[in-house]
Amino acid sequence: MIKGLYEAHLPVSNLSNSIDFYKKLGLEVAYENEKLAFLWIEKGSSWLGLWETDKVNTPYHPSLRHIAFKVDLADIKQAKEWIEQKGILVRTSFGFPSKKQPLVLPNNPQAHAAIYFDDPDGNSIELITPLRLDVEVNFEMMTLNDWLEGKKLSKNSL
């Protein structure tokens, strides 16, 4: 029945500024009115709704103001440079400063590579790609470079 996620929504304080920000990330405007815009993440498959509202002042919590965009492994390897070339700062996440990202999340049995930054209103934006699914090997959170070099991992976990 369910095939994927079609839409997600974030609060913003200035719709025009937020549209510009998300267009820098490659999203395309699908619909816009005075207080709402939908931008295609993948045209015809998924989009992001941006709502201009005072609810943007709600304190950040990942359950309220977070979105993760799926990317390929080749793209996550270049994500930090790509983000910074757009004038966006990669933020410290899980104790890993920007220079140590992307990082690998040990959501055993899964492993995902991710990098984090904020939109103009402090909404949490994540680029993420699966590295391993359904293989139970415990490991600590680490940088993607360490993961790719096989550090702190057993050979059968790669």
Q: Is the confidence at residue 135, as pLDDT, over 90?
A: no
pLDDT at 140 (0 to 100) = 84
Greatest extent of the chain over all pairs of C-alpha atoms, in Å? 55
pLDDT at 157 (0 to 100) = 42
* d(C-alpha 119, C-alpha 52), whole Å: 14
Q: Read off the pTM.
A: 0.87
pLDDT at 151 (0 to 100) = 64
* d(C-alpha 60, C-alpha 66), whole Å: 8
CATH architecture of 65-153: 2-Layer Sandwich (3.30)
Q: What is the separation, in whole angstroms, between the first and last Cα of the chain?
A: 32
Query: pLDDT tens digit string along 42-99?
Result: 999 999 999 999 989 888 888 889 999 999 999 999 999 999 999 999 999 999 999 9
Parse the chain into domains and list their residue ranges: 1-55, 65-153
| One fold for 1-55 and 65-153 | no
The residues, ordered by sequence, that sit 6+ positions from 146 with a Cβ below 8 Å of its Cβ are: 104, 152
Domain 1-55 adopts which CATH fold? 2,3-Dihydroxybiphenyl 1,2-Dioxygenase; domain 1 (3.10.180)
Write the DSSP symbol of residue 63. T
Q: Give 68's strand partners.
A: 126
Residue with the bigger pLDDT between 97 and 137: it is 97
Q: Is the confidence at residue 11, as pLDDT, over 80?
A: yes
